[in-house]
Amino acid sequence: MPALTCQRTSFRPVLTAMAKCPSFVHQILLVFSFTAALSRAVTVNIPFSAPDGAPIVSGSLFSLSLEQDRWLDWVGTTSTGRNDFFFNTLDNLIQISGEAPQIRIGADSEDHTDFGVGVKDAELIFPAITETVPFPEASNITVGDAYYEAVQFLPPDTHVIWGVNFGTKNITAAFLEAQAIQQAFSSDAVQDAGIILDFVEIGNEADLYSGNGHRPSGFNVSEYVDEWATFATNVSAAAGITPDSHAQFWGGGFAESSHSTTGFSPQGMFSKGILDSKPGKLIKTISQHHYSGSFCSGNGGLLQDLMTKSTIRSNLSMFTPDIATVRDQGLDYVLGETNSYSCHGAPGVSNVAGAALWALDYALFARKIGVTRVHFHEGIGYKYNLIQPIALTRSPLDGSTLPDPLPPHVQPPYYAAVIAAEAAGNGGNTQLVELTIKNSRISGYGFFEGGSIARAVFINSEAFLIDLTAERTSVHVDLDFDDDAPSTMKVKRLVIGHADDASGLTWGGVTYETEDGRPSGEESVETVDVGDGFDIQATEVVLLSFS
């Protein structure tokens, strides 16, 4: 066997070479060191003008889906008045972008709701709590007129989507609910507040009906379309939905998509003729539900897995053919219910700072591929909430009794909504472009006003965790413009101690973790030369505003 030589081009096993050739070891270490240095610096090209076809991103990109059972806890009642904490958290976003988050009221409990003559607000029956799901949805909800009239307590000019019961196949219940919705939105109180009914949704996740007892085994998309058309004919009459009315229908709302013409998907609904039916012509938006994973059996994912750039993109890109199909019909496409992990989130993952970075990247990438709005699902005590609107007497993480009530508060993902609203601006015509970045942890988006670059958001999704002993890393970003570069830029940062911190975040020096949900603190913004670039730490968001 020939003697081992210490050449870099040797094809012998590296470990053997390292053991016998110290100079080879030194060469390898130099290569690794150089590669590591490269990974901590990146140049990002920013087009000075918005490319053709760049989508408009609205201030309501971050919208909400509220579990219907405890709707009155969110908004307030005609007896007690509005919930000021919830109102304030929505109004904060309006103050930034000029646009209210759109509110969908429905979800699983939408298919457990009945209308009761003589019921004032709501009567609820709940299943037993568990450690995994300490705040379960109500199994039975009976509501009256005041339940719908409480919509008047939302911020002025809020647009609403309301769901009616399709699951129990009780067309009378759906008719009475739709009638009450129409009466509420026609009332002086709601009209004076400028609250607008955009859509009615019929049923929630009908593709799961075979498994949850709402329909016999084998319930298929063809049967769904036929039943939906019958219900929608009655609901449209009760709710006053016509071709000339402002309110129309949301269609779909499936838990998954088959992406085929034979299963539950936009393609399946369209192939079975839903848009050819009389009520189907009133469908203006298709809704899809999606979660990044499941915690229903207590098997939550890791925080870094949730935050990872490639995972976010693969999770959403699967819907690209569905979006194209919907757009080809001239319809809008939204994620009508979404969040991190289903069954209300995973403790230490959905409720911590890393989830804020996930939510921001998730929503912006969704818009990039054609999703108009992203409705983050919320429920009283849910772990993945942006907002906990009332005091809680048991832990949302495991259901244990708390020594003192946990007051209303925002959770880390709320900061993602704030940042998205600020990036979108209040001009109403901002265009969004994803920036190409050769780094697996750094995401970036450019925001264009009047066709020119105005702002950019960068997200470093490397999880810096509490128990890490290694030094916190950072990446230096240099900016390369296609045309004349702006001379200066303002740099605003989402400051986070650790990815698994449940509180203590600040956005440009300002906190939203206050008793009333209003921002507090003195704003901190750096002004730097564009040519100097900027550093972004692991688990950090940076907003650049160009001048």
Q: Quick one: pLDDT at residue 40?
A: 84
Distance CA 69, CA 123 (A): 9
CA–CA separation, 544 vs 547, rounded Å? Answer: 10
Give the separation between CA 508 and CA 457, rounded to whole angstroms: 13
Tokens of 318: 């699967």
- Measure Cα distances from 93 to 97, 335, 373, 429 in Å: 6, 20, 15, 17
Token digits for 185? 């939105």
Alpha carbons within 13 angstroms on the beta-carbon side of residue 367 total 29
What's the CA gap between 520 and 196, in Å, rounded?
31
pLDDT of the residue at 14: 33
Q: Residue 300 has what pLDDT?
A: 66
- Spell out the domains of the chain, with CATH numbers in brackets: 40-53+430-546 (2.60.40.1180), 62-424 (3.20.20.80)
Interatomic CA distance for residues 497 and 184, integer angstroms: 45
* The predicted structure's pLDDT at residue 3: 36
Contact 230, 237 (CB under 8 A): no
Output the DSSP codes for 186-246: HSHHHHHHT-EEEEEEE-S-GGGHHHHTSS-TT--HHHHHHHHHHHHHHHHHHHT--TTSS
Token pair for 357: 């970075």
> Coil, helix or strand for 344?
coil
Q: Which H or E run contains 457?
A: strand 452-460
- What is the mean pLDDT of each successive set of 10 residues along the chain, which is 547 residues long? 33 34 38 43 93 95 98 95 97 97 97 94 96 95 97 98 98 97 97 97 98 96 98 98 97 98 98 98 98 80 92 97 98 98 93 97 98 98 98 96 97 98 95 97 97 96 94 97 90 97 98 98 96 97 95
